[in-house]
Amino acid sequence: MTQKELHNQRLVREAQKVVMQQHTRRHFIKESAMGLGALALGNLLGGCSTGSNNVFDATNPLAPKAAPFLGKAKSVIYLHMAGAPSQLEMFSYKPELAKLDGQDCPPSLLNGKKFAFIRGVPKMLGPQASFNRYGQSGTWVSENLPHLSTVIDDVAVLQAVTTDQFNHAPAQLLMHTGTPRLGRPSMGSWVTYGLGTENKNLPGFVVLTSGGNNPDAGKSVWGSGFLPSVYQGVQCRSEGDPVLFIKDPAGMDRDIRKASIDAINKVNEESYTEYQDPETLSRISQYELAYKMQISVPGVMDISTEPEYIHEMYGTKPGESCFANNVLLARKLVEKGVRFVQLFDWGWDTHGDSAGNAVDIGLKNKCRKIDRPITALLQDLKQRGLLDETLVVWGSEFGRTPMQENRDGKTMPFKGRDHHGEAFSMWMAGGGIKGGTTYGETDEIGYNIVSGKVETFDVQATILNQLGFDHEKFTYESQGRNFRLTDLSGKVIHDIIA
Amino acid sequence: MFLKPSKKLFYSSAVLIVLAITAVVIYPSDPIDYNTEVKPILNKKCITCHGGVKQEAGFSLLFEEEAFAPTKSGKPAIIKFKPEESELIRRLHLTDPEERMPYKHDPLTKEEIKILTTWIKEGAKWGSHWAYQKVKEPAVPSINDDWVNNNIDKYIVEKLEAEKLSPSKEADKATLLRRVSLDITGLPANKKIAAKYLNDPSDKAYENLVNDLMATPAYGEKWAALWLDLARYADTKGFEADRGRNIYKYRDWLIHAFNTDKPYNDFLTEQIAGDLLPNPSDAQYIATAFHRNTMNNDEGGTDNEEFRTAAVLDRVNTTWSAVMGTSFNCVQCHSHPYDPFKHDEYYKFMAFFNNTRDEDSPFENPVLRQYQGIDNVKFESVKKWLQQNAAPAAANYWITFLRTLQPSINAFQCDKFVNGANGWYATLRNNGTCNLKNVVLTGKSELLFKYASRVDKGVWRIYLDSLTGPLVKEVPVKNTGGGFVHTTTSLPDIKGTHTLYFKYYSPKIKNSTDDGILFEWFSFGNPFPAKEKPGYDSAYKYFNDLIMAGAETTPIMMDANEDLFRPTHVFERGSWLSKGKLVAPDVPAVLPSLPKNAPKNRLGLAMWLTDKNNPLVSRTLVNRLWEQLFGTGIVETLEDLGTQGLSPTHQTLLDYLSWQLMHTHNWSIKKTLKEILLSATYRQQSMFTKELLKKDPYNKLYARGPRVRLSAEQIRDQTLAVSTLLSPKMYGKSVMPYQPEGIWRSPYNGDAWKLSEGEDQYRRSLYTYFKRTAPYPSMLTFDGGAREVCVIRRIRTNTPLQALTSLNDSSYIIMARSFAKSMDKVNGSIEAKIKMGYEQMMYKPIAPAKLNVLTSLYESSLSKYQSNKKAATVLVSDSTLASPTNRAALVVVANAMLNLDEWLNKN
């Protein structure tokens, strides 16, 4: 049996298991000695009971659920470079731009355009990295990503992603929630709402941040919007408790904690006898679950137990707060059945206002920090047979201009580029994506799209598709209307699907 | 001639239809009711394709005039009194899936077809949804039942009897005490109030308790917390840097308004239009901050107009969802798909809000400036002088200017920069130019403006209508050393509205890219008045001092004068960039029109909202009050009383309460709440029975009292209270109680969570600093929203993260320590200590089984700590204790007690 057949078989088995569990659960409820007429007696609130097909079981909101159709991917690792890396120094090879370096930007590119910082007439800025073709596919990759170029045949590069937002916070919200405004559920929330999680001792949607700051749009990019709050991303941290309040209080050891949870649950059983409130039973199980999380989370979140060759591969340094550690954690979490792992790495906003924000200095350093761990992630997932069922997405909220930024019309101290939403690069790998593909094309300077345009909604539609959802049918009713992640748009990018 | 098969089908089915219709006609019954019988079928089966967004075949069932209008075929689909001629009915009977309706869906049931047919036969009488009809005085059911306490109960009993259920008996005193205390004040009752009630055997004891609780200041704090959700109150502006916003005075206004039981009509009027009331007080200005809780985006290069527009749309949506229980936001893009609101009507409504002076300014303009100390003395003195010496209009103009710095134009509205830029300011470099559009110059003889410069000998030239146009004025600008100053310059007599062009030049500027001048605002007007009157010099000096004085500021709503009037357009498909036709302020046609004397501004809007003919405002409020007490509204979907919301469980009761609110209680929230709290319905015990579990698991019939998990605020506040840590301090800037490191990490923002000192760590939760992009973790975990937009209803969840919070969060450990300490004050056995602690929590003795469990937890913890004194010392964290082991075991027990289900719920 080929790897693929094995993989499919596993997915089928999983789907069957879910159906069976649902059946058994019904059976259990029906036959339960407690005589609970319906276990789904929790506070079925929210938009969930307005006659729509919202599926929210308050007593077990994260129970694994089968997707509407058999998806290729079981889980997602989404690597978001907050701040918008320059596609022109990473994936978008533009030799013509080099020839224009230092010349005034032609007015045709500026008419009717609005920039975040460019004012007046800026100069063109040639690529600040050299490019080569790599792999069987001959995909162009810059010298800034020497490791990634070795696995590029597993990657499908999208060269013509576009957004209509040119500020970080709204653009990040658009990418992750389908609207530039606050208040809608994030992609990870949608996915955990739709699929639940396979490891009930861990959150279904985990967020890891690095680079010293949260993403510009704050926690809203992993918020649950109008979905029940149980689906919001749980931020796991590399300093302090990995999950907030997961550690026992100082001076209270694990045995005492266990004894006290047992006592709480025993008293709660008394309350249940008194009130017969099904919500009390649910609370008893949530306290048990909390204890299980206390036991399992720190272990999963501890990368120090990984073998040396893994650390070598990822470039991880246990104890530090860095992107590489988060990437390794992402692999561990997915391996343990976490549905959606969202990484944000801050510090890609290369305006040229400092060396750290220069496309020829700071950007290279940032690339160095992500290149090895991301490459290791793809290799490691592959060697564990997980790449087929794990969709890895790399991208950002927008790209950068082929012009050099001239903030307020002035010359900048370093080489930088302004925000550019018209065209930028992203990539996907694993989870049923056709490796070695390049999709979409921009003009000779990477300013406008020539073909293969991909909107943020298309990225979302494709991710949902790989997980087994038709993005047009995956809705939640709120305030009298059905909402979906892709709003009123979105096309699955079939050209990059295997 | 051939008959095509489909036509054949048509004829044969026509025969069937005639038969079917005849069948209906033979057996007449009660007339069909549009709202309860027809509309649900249309909404469920038809309106998706024949409604607001889609109007397949030119047929829509959303509005009456559309439903009876000719469709694409040229004929109406519904012919009144003639079902046999109505295409709508014919299509329901066909068998060809291409022609039969609903298209590609299951056919309607026989029963549904019968209803529609009879309805048309009876003349197809259209009706309006119940929630859009005026509240009429409802008849109170005549029920004779000893259980009944007041009219509310009669509505409840009527329905229970119909369902063959009986109500529960009254909850025991202790349970009721805790329930009603948490509901009225969000806190357990203090010892005095509790003891008075528990020791009072009279019939009046409970009513007195309600009165006592409502008289405590904690009442206002509890109910303000609810309104903070609706007002999307936060201490930061949202978006990227998520910088701080000084708007706590609005929170304090709410607390005070609830405590003084400000009638709900005034409560709304002041929040919607306090600034438009005659001679608005500071408090009335502050009330308008309700709609200044919208988010600001200060991020570099953002289009202020885009985010100003977003804020205005949010005000429209919030007004509808919070005050009128209607999801109006669909109408932003198209006519409402289910409810009778038209696309244009959204923008007519938006026009009420579109003329305010806020423009997504990073300075939050306009703000109310409240001067402090000596500055306030100066302000009062200028004010008095102006009132005594200037003409009333001029006096009012300048007093308002000192209070708000309005009318003025934000300099970032300048455009067309060459060698200059706009951001927070308008900056010009050497020979830099820009323009400022739509400046009304008629009758303006002086320009007051605020600027900064680091360059000597600067010259600012103002040209009329183009850079080559006539020179309006050449203004020498001083080197201010970089600080902002304000100054005036006189203007020549020019009539009309013009675009002004600005140019800056200085011979002293070194590089062409160095900043020459930064403008903050411009105010075109006339000189400070009454120059000839005594005291002018000192009044004018004070005036100038005050413009630059540091003042306490609160963002407020303020309308533009006619010079700065902003027209409102329909946005095509909801996009603010595609502006359609011009509209004037108005309310949707399906609802009562604006009262006759109402001005077409926010004040008129407030008059309309608080008119007793408005069908939505009173219903929305009483529904929300009910939800706060019972956990679920009479209409469960608080956000939508419209046709897409859930039906009310007790519609006549909802109307009764609305009527009472407006007509009997004169909009008093306290009186309305009291009526509900005194009902037997509220006072029932909350135990489920097997029968209730089966028949009414969600307690929609109210055969038992409410048992609901407490809100995030209630859980933290009652735990602070029982552990004797709670600070009674009211009002003031938001505080920062303990939160774990690293929660705040906003880019471009150095603000940090700075642990408050002393009692400020233990204030009630509504005083906790609320940062939109990183709310206080335990608030978020217990289902508090992020308040980015109006939080209409919190959806309660039950998750392990909640358990982890109340078990392990250091704040909760501190509370457990303090609670253990107070239990330890009881002399005697461990049982005695636990008994006392439990009674403080629940007002009643602990059941023996529970006591046994907790005592064994104590014993087992104690034996652990005896062999690990170090751990005990750490947990207890009290160096004054000789032996920490007993206390440590008691802290473990206290921590467990504060996690009990009965503690996290009201019972």
CATH number at residue A193: 3.40.720.10
CB B823 within 8 A of CB B833: yes
Query: B106 to chain A nearest CA, in Å?
Result: 17
Q: What does the longest C-alpha to C-alpha distance in chain B come to?
A: 112
Say whether B147 sits in a helix, a strand or coil. Answer: coil
DSSP single-letter state for residue A319 = T
- pLDDT value at residue B12: 46
Neighbour-count burial of B510, counting CB atoms closer than 10 A to its CB (0-12 exposed, 13-18 middle, 19+ buried): exposed
User: Which residues, at least 6 apart from B882, have a Cβ–Cβ distance to it below 8 Å?
Assistant: none
What average pLDDT score do residues B40-49 get? 81
Check residue A38 and give its pLDDT. Answer: 27
- Residue A133 scores a pLDDT above 70: yes
Distance from the A189 Cα atom to the nearest Cα atom in chain B, whole angstroms:
15
Whether the CB of A36 is below 8 Å from some CB of chain B: the reply is yes
The greatest distance separating any two alpha carbons of chain A, rounded to the nearest whole angstrom, comes to: 81
Chain A residue closest to B640 (CA)?
Answer: A479
**Is A29 within 8 Å of chain B by CB?**
no
Q: Looking up tokens 């040639």, which residue turns up?
A: A126
Residue of A nearest to B709 (CA): A279
Whole-number Å distance between alpha carbons of A271 and B685? 14
If one counts the domains in chain A, the total is 1
CA distances from B603 to B131, B274, B288, B353, B617 (A): 24, 8, 11, 11, 16
Interface test with B, best of A115, A238, A479, A487 (most B CBs within 10 A): A479
Q: Is residue A48 part of a domain?
A: no
More confident residue, B777 or B428: B428
Taking an 8 Å cut-off on Cβ atoms, the answer to whether B808 and A246 are in contact is yes
Q: CA nearest A267 in B: which residue? A: B850
Backbone angles phi, psi at B76, to 5 degrees: -65, 150
Residues in B closer than 8 angstroms to A272, CB to CB, are: 901
Q: Tell me the C-alpha distance between B803 and B257, whole Å.
A: 35
Lowest mean pLDDT among A480-484, B265-269, B520-524: A480-484
Q: How far apart are CA A312 and CA A318, in angstroms?
A: 12
- Which chain B residues have a beta carbon less than 8 Å from that of A203? 801
In this prediction, residues A178-190 reach a mean pLDDT of 88
**Spatial distance between the Cα atoms of B544 and B537, rounded to a whole number of angstroms:** 11
Which residue in B351, B358, B330 sits closest to B569, CA to CA? B351
Q: Hey, are the CB atoms on A270 and B847 less than 8 Å from each other?
A: yes
CB A215 within 8 A of CB A249: no
Contacts of A204 in chain B (CB under 8 A): none
Residue B896 with chain A: CB contacts under 8 Å: 260, 263-264, 267
H, E, C per residue of B414-448: CEEEEEEEECCCEEEEEEEEEEEEEEECCCCCEEE
Residue A356's identity, in one-letter code, is G
Chain B residues touching A266 at Cβ < 8 A: 853
Q: Could you tell me which residues come within 8 angstroms of residue B157 by beta carbon, excluding any fewer than 6 positions away?
A: B141, B143, B145, B147, B148, B167
Chain A residues within an 8 Å CB radius of B853:
263, 266-267, 270
Chain A: closest CA distance from residue B426 (Å): 11
Query: In chain B, whose CA is at the least distance from the CA of A235?
Result: B743
- Separation in Å, CA of A274 to nearest CA in chain B: 7
Gap from B444 CA to chain A (nearest CA, Å): 33
Contacts B804 to A, Cβ<8 Å: 243-246, 290, 293-294
Minimal CA separation from B303 to chain A, in Å: 9
Stated as kind and residue range, the H or E segment containing A279 is helix A278-300
A61 touches chain B (CB under 8 A): yes
Residue of B773, B783, B864 lying closest to A256 (CB–CB): B864
Q: Confirm or reject contact between A450 and chain B (CB < 8 A).
A: no
Q: Using DSSP bridges, classify how beta strands B471-477 and B409-410 pair: parallel, antiparallel or unpaired.
A: unpaired
B800-808 and A278-300 helices, crossing angle to 10°? 80
**Domain containing A462: what range?**
75-243+301-496
In a domain, A439, yes or no: yes
The DSSP H or E segment spanning B201 is: none
Alpha-carbon distance B169 to B684, whole Å? 5
**pLDDT mean over B213-241:** 94
Domain B409-549 carries which CATH code?
Answer: 2.60.120.260
CA atoms within a 13 Å half-sphere pointing along the CA-CB vector of B873: 8
Extents of the domains making up chain B: 5-127, 246-364+564-599, 409-549, 810-906
pLDDT value for A13 = 52
The answer to whether residue A287 sits within a structural domain is no
pLDDT in tens, A336-379: 999 999 999 999 999 998 888 999 999 999 999 999 999 999 99
Q: What would the two tokens of residue B174 be?
A: 């202790």
Question: Which of B24-38, B186-200, B468-482, B714-728 bottoms out in mean pLDDT, i.e. has the lowest?
Answer: B24-38
Give the residue-averaged pLDDT of A64-89.
93
**Residue B54 pLDDT > 50, yes or no?**
yes
Q: Which of residues 65-104 of A touch B (CB under 8 A)?
A: none
DSSP A86-119: -GGGTT---HHHHHHTTSBPPHHHHTT---SSB-
Q: What is the pLDDT of residue A480?
A: 59
| CB contact (8 A) between residue B856 and residue A481 | no
For residues A197 and A333, give the distance between their C-alpha atoms in angstroms, rounded to a whole number.
Answer: 11
Helices B602-609 and B343-353 pack at an angle, to 10 degrees, of 120
Digit-coded pLDDT (tens) for B549-595: 999 999 999 999 988 999 999 988 777 888 899 999 999 999 999 99
Mean pLDDT of B802-825: 96
Do the beta carbons of residue B550 and residue B317 sit within 8 Å? no
User: How much of chain A exceeds pLDDT 90, in percent?
Assistant: 60
Q: Which of A35-39, A258-262, B128-132, B137-141 has the lowest mean pLDDT?
A: A35-39
Please list the residues that pair with A344 across neighbouring strands: A80, A209
Is A263's CB within 8 Å of B797's CB?
no
> Cβ(A402)–Cβ(A447) under 8 Å?
yes
Query: Is residue A112 less than 8 Å (CB to CB) from chain B?
Result: no
| Cα A349 to Cα A81: distance, rounded to the nearest angstrom | 9
Q: Across the interface, which of B632, B708, B795 has its CB nearest the CB of A229?
A: B795
Which chain A residues are closer than 8 Å to B431 by Cβ?
Answer: none
Q: Sign of the CA dihedral B18, B20, B25, B30? A: negative
In a domain, A261, yes or no: no
H or E element, residue B744: none
**A275, A283, A479: residue with CB nearest B686:** A275
Alpha-carbon gap: A474 to the closest alpha carbon of chain B (Å): 17
How many Å lie between the alpha carbon of B324 and the closest alpha carbon of chain A?
13
Note the pLDDT tens digit of each residue in B374-416: 999 999 999 999 999 999 999 999 999 999 999 999 999 999 9
Q: Is residue A205 part of a domain?
A: yes
Q: Do A228 and B795 touch (CB under 8 A)?
A: yes
* Under 8 Å between Cβ of A291 and A261: yes
CA distance B386 to chain A (A): 43
What is the Cα–Cα distance from B491 to B471, expressed in whole angstroms? 11
User: Is B868 within 8 Å of A253 when comparing Cβ atoms?
Assistant: yes
Contact call for A116 and B810, based on CB within 8 A: no
Contact A283 B853 (CB under 8 A): no
A255:B892 CB<8 A: no
Q: How confident is the model at residue A154 (pLDDT cuts 50, 70, 90)?
A: very high
Of A192 and B784, the structure prediction assigns the larger pLDDT to A192
The closest alpha carbon to B411, from B397, B420, B424, B398, belongs to B424
**A–B interface: beta-carbon pairs under 8 A:** 296
Burial class (CB in 10 A: 0-12, 13-18, 19+), B20: buried
Beta pairing partners, A132: A141
Q: What is the pLDDT of residue A79?
A: 98
Task: Look at the block and give the residue holding tokens 């303009």.
Answer: B365
**What value does the mean pLDDT take over residues B251-266?**
98
User: Is the residue at A354 inside a domain?
Assistant: yes
> Tokens 């696309």, residue?
B343
* Block residue for tokens 């990019």: A221
Helix, strand, coil % in chain A, rounded to nearest 5: 40, 15, 45
Q: Which positions 366-385 of A are in contact with B (Cβ < 8 Å)?
A: none
A37, A245, A408: residue with CB nearest B427: A408
Integer Cα distance of B692 and B703 in angstroms = 8
Which residues lie across from B553 on neighbouring strands?
Answer: B369
In a domain, A462, yes or no: yes
Query: Distance between CA atoms of A162 and A170, rounded to whole angstroms?
Result: 14
What is the full DSSP assignment across B788-815? SS----PPP---HHHHHHHHH-HHHHHH
Residue from A287, A289, A292, A256 nearest A271 by CA = A287
Dig out the tokens for A151 from the structure.
Answer: 């696995």
Alpha-carbon distance A266 to A280, whole Å?
11
B191-198 and B173-185 helices, crossing angle to 10°:
140
Cβ atoms of A175 and A184 within 8 Å: the answer is no
